[in-house]
């Protein structure tokens, strides 16, 4: 592929390809049962994804300090508990921090299941609620002009609310927990200097990159696990029922977090595309070379060796999905979001199915991709929403129903 070449959107031009087999170890040993999968193949796949795609992140924080900055039982007109919790990620109170925004339904004496997802522009963009604290981190400029010199302002309140139907989530009996991805790493090539990668590295901003160095996606995923560390001690949350959700680049992060950290009960990828749920070997829409060119900071150094060499990558997206097994996972696509390759996302779910079968579980339960506006799936959910690249109320309804089926809802 010539760098910057036109993406392929023609199904007839998808080349023939052979996917790596999730049920064959690198030394050729077949995986016939859960034991071999869990003891050998699963760790091996995690290692391959670290080494070649996302890079190697620390397993834990060097120290953590949870500061409950606010807990208000009368938020949203008395319907919700709003909590804002700062997680100091180095144990001191000067180092990197992640600010959690939580809304929990007001239900006495019951721990609630929650959705956990990172947001793109700051917690205050998720809902117009004036009580939400505004991030002081670097934020990207927005079209509405609410960001001044990469600083968020109050004008940004609620600007991303369509992606976060808070009232609807609460009405269905779930809480919502979110944090700004830029608390972990602001999303630009030099952003690592302002995030956890520099702060947790012994040589700080003089850092020398290794080929398996964690990228921004891994830093975001790591932060999701730190949020989980806090949720395990929050008295309002049922930590056994935490559902990860992420849209697009943050869907890639949700998948990687869910693969690494089995405390997450359900994982939802909304249009995560290349480097997420889409099979890379199809070379449909966005490709590895596009990611590496436009977002050189997202993946590890070695990932750059796979520009236009998709077949050489030792893993593919179906194996990322398989790493969720036996937990429920949902892949949402949108019909006009060809850049993210909806069919490639469906096929990743389909080819993850053999691993679910080791646990006696049905994945998608179908072999044909559903029509636009339809959804399928048992332990692997999939839908093709009509429309563009977005996270919408329609997507949320599918996710809420799927999670109800698996986690029992109220």
The site string for ligand GTR over 284-303 (x = CB under 6 A, - otherwise) reads --x-----------------
Between 144 and 171, CB nearer to ligand GTR: 144
Catalytic residue among 71, 207, 335, 389: 389
CB closest to ligand GTR, residue no: 248
CA distance 394 to 345: 18
Q: Which is nearer to ligand GTR, 293 or 410 (CB)?
A: 293
Of 361, 368, 283, the closest CA to residue 327 belongs to 361
Closest CA to 353 of 386, 326, 393: 326
Quote the tokens at residue 177.
Answer: 């927990």
Could you tell me if 72 and 131 are in contact, meaning their C-beta atoms sit under 8 angstroms apart? yes
Neighbours of 294 (CB within 10 A): 10
Give the C-alpha distances (Å, rounded to integers) separating 370 from 124, 248, 260, 332, 341. Answer: 36, 21, 29, 12, 14
Q: Which of 225, 248, 269, 272 is catalytic?
A: 248
Closest separation between CB of residue 141 and ligand GTR, Å? 15
Q: Which is nearer to ligand GTR, 124 or 249 (CB)?
A: 249
Enclosing H/E stretch for 115: strand 112-119
Annotate each residue in 68-87 with x if it binds ligand GTR (CB under 6 A) or - if it does not, as one string: --------------------
Q: Which is nearer to ligand GTR, 40 or 304 (CB)?
A: 304
Residue 389 falls in the annotated catalytic set: yes
Query: In the complex, what is the shortest distance from the CB of residue 274 to ligand GTR, in angstroms, rounded to a whole number?
Result: 5
**Pick 118 or 347: Cβ nearer ligand GTR:** 118
Number of residues that bind ligand GTR (CB under 6 A): 5
Pick the binder of ligand GTR from 119, 248, 292, 392 (CB under 6 A): 248
CB of 168 to ligand GTR, least distance (A): 22
Q: By CB under 6 A, name the one of 273, 332, 344, 377 that touches ligand GTR.
A: 273
Q: Does 249 bind ligand GTR (CB under 6 A)?
A: yes
DSSP assignment string, 39-70: IIIHHHHHHHHIIIII-BPPSS-SB-EEEEEE
Three-class SS state of 394: helix
Instruction: Pick between residue 3 and residue 68 the one whose CB is nearest to ligand GTR.
Output: 3
| Between 273 and 349, CB nearer to ligand GTR | 273
Task: Return the residues of window 134-193 that contact ligand GTR according to CB under 6 A.
Answer: none
- Cβ-based neighbours of 393, under 8 Å, separated by 6 or more: 162, 165, 168
Tell me the closest approach of the beta carbon of residue 371 to ligand GTR, in angstroms. Answer: 24
Of the candidates 339, 338, 345, which has an alpha carbon nearest to the alpha carbon of residue 375? 345
CB 215 within 8 A of CB 55: yes
Shortest distance (Å) from residue 110 CB to ligand GTR = 35
CB of 155 to ligand GTR, least distance (A): 22
Least gap, CB of 138 to ligand GTR (angstroms) = 17
Beta bridge partners of residue 270, listed in sequence order: 247, 332
C-alpha distances out from residue 176 to 74, 222, 311, Å: 16, 19, 39
Exposure string of 1-31, with b = 16+ CB inside 10 Å and e = fewer, is beeeeeebeeeeebeeeebbebbeeeeeeeb
The tokens for 388 are 């563009």
By CB under 6 A, name the binding residues for ligand GTR: 248-249, 273-274, 286
Give the catalytic positions in this structure: 248, 389
């Amino acid at each position: 592929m010539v760098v910057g070449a036109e993406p392929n959107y023609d199904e007839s031009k998808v080349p023939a390809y052979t996917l790596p087999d999730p049920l064959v170890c690198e030394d050729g040993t077949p995986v016939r049962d859960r034991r071999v999968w869990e003891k050998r193949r699963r760790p091996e796949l995690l290692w391959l994804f670290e080494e070649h795609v996302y890079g190697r992140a620390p397993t834990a924080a060097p120290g953590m300090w949870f500061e409950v900055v606010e807990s208000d039982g009368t938020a949203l007109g008395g319907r919700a508990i709003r909590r804002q919790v700062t997680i100091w990620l180095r144990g001191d109170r000067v180092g990197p921090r992640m600010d959690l925004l939580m809304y929990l339904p007001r239900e006495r004496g019951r721990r609630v299941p929650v959705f956990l997802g990172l947001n793109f522009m700051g917690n205050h963009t998720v809902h117009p609620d004036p009580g939400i604290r505004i991030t002081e981190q670097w934020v990207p400029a927005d079209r509405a002009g609410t960001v001044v010199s990469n600083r968020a302002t109050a004008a940004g309140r609620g600007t991303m609310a369509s992606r976060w139907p808070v009232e609807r989530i609460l009405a269905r009996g779930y809480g919502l927990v979110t944090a700004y991805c830029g608390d972990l790493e602001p999303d630009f090539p030099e952003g690592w200097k302002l995030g956890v990668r520099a702060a947790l590295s012994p040589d700080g901003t003089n850092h020398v990159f290794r080929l398996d160095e964690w990228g921004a996606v891994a830093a975001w995923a790591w932060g999701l696990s730190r949020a989980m560390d806090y949720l395990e001690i929050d008295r309002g949350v049922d930590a056994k029922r935490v559902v990860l959700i992420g849209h697009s680049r943050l869907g890639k992060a949700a998948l990687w977090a869910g693969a690494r950290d089995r405390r997450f009960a359900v994982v939802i990828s909304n249009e995560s595309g290349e480097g997420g749920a889409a099979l890379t070997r199809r070379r449909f829409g966005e490709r590895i070379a596009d990611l590496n060119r436009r977002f050189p900071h997202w993946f590890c150094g070695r990932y750059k060796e796979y520009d236009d060499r998709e077949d050489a990558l030792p893993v593919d997206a179906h194996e990322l999905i398989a790493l969720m097994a036996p937990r429920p996972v949902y892949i949402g696509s949108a019909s006009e979001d060809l850049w993210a390759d909806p069919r490639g996302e469906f096929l990743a779910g389909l080819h993850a199915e053999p691993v679910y079968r080791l646990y006696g579980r049905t994945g998608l339960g179908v072999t044909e991709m559903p029509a636009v506006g339809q959804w399928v799936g048992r332990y692997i959910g999939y839908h093709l929403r009509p429309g563009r690249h977005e996270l919408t109320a329609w997507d949320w309804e599918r996710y809420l129903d799927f999670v109800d089926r698996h986690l029992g809802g109220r």
